[in-house]
């Protein structure tokens, strides 16, 4: 991803990306997005990058030897510190729907921000609201006070977050609405699709925002809007 596309994607919200993908595909039916309501640590936070993935548990203590768990934890951190940038940390909590362990708080957000990650997408728990690393958004499944027995199970493998399958290296866009995976074959044409989408929506906004129009006027506007998207 070049800098221009990255900056463009950072400037738009996730619904815009979803719509632009449909514009690029020329049809409705794109479904690589999260389901249900997610929570955002920063209402204005947007994360864009290639997925670095992992899975965790926290309900019960790990059954493996402590040295195994410690070695895996450090291997996880090494993995998160490496790879192409921009990157998004994507962590599935295997305890969902009973997740209780907040892996994402003041400590881990500052560590992952220092690794030059753009943010975290997780179906698990976050905490320390108000004290998370500045400029490091977390989109999570829930909020809770404790880390429980949280530990890393594995990393660098496919995960599922709120119904969205994400593989290592997938291009992820996420904000307070949830997350979407950009199809690899559309990445090169996404900027033009966003521009087309915005031009078409401007036709409607120019006609209706702060104004009153008749249905007959609206019919003409809507026809022009539909023509502009194709």
The packing angle between helices 215-229 and 190-208, to 10°, is: 170
CB 190, CB 5: distance < 8 Å: yes
160 labeled part of a ligand binding site: no
Three-state SS at 201: helix
128 marked ligand binding residue: yes
Q: Closest Cα partner for 93 from 53, 63, 66? A: 53
HSE-up of residue 95 (Cα within 13 Å, Cβ side): 24
| Cβ 53 vs Cβ 157: under 8 Å | yes
Q: Are 104 and 127 in contact (CB under 8 A)?
A: yes
Distance CA 20, CA 14 (A): 10
d(CA 51, CA 57): 20
Please report the sign of the dihedral spanned by the C-alpha atoms of residue 87, residue 92, residue 93, residue 96. Answer: positive
Residues annotated within a binding site: 127-128
Residues annotated within a binding site for substrate: 127
Residues annotated within a binding site for Mg(2+): 128
């Amino acid at each position: 991803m070049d800098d221009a596309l990255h900056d463009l994607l950072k400037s738009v919200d996730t619904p815009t990306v979803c719509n632009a993908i449909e514009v690029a595909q020329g049809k409705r039916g794109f479904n690589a997005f999260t389901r249900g309501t997610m929570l955002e640590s920063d209402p204005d936070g947007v994360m864009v990058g290639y997925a670095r993935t992992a899975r965790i548990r926290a309900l019960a203590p790990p059954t493996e030897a402590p040295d195994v768990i410690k070695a895996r934890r450090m291997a996880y951190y090494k993995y998160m510190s490496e790879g192409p940038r921009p990157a998004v940390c994507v962590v599935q909590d295997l305890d969902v729907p009973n997740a209780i362990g907040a892996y994402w708080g003041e400590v881990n957000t500052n560590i992952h921000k220092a690794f030059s990650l753009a943010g975290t997408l997780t179906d698990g728990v976050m905490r320390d609201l108000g004290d998370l690393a500045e400029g490091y958004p977390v989109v999570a499944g829930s909020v809770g006070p404790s880390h429980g027995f949280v530990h890393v199970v594995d990393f660098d493998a496919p995960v599922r977050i709120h119904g969205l399958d994400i593989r290592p290296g997938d291009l992820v866009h996420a904000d307070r609405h949830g997350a979407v995976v950009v199809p690899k074959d559309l990445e090169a044409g996404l900027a033009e699709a966003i521009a087309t989408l915005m031009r078409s929506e401007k036709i409607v906004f120019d006609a209706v925002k702060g104004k009153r129009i008749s249905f007959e006027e609206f019919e003409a506007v809507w026809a022009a809007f539909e023509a502009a998207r194709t």
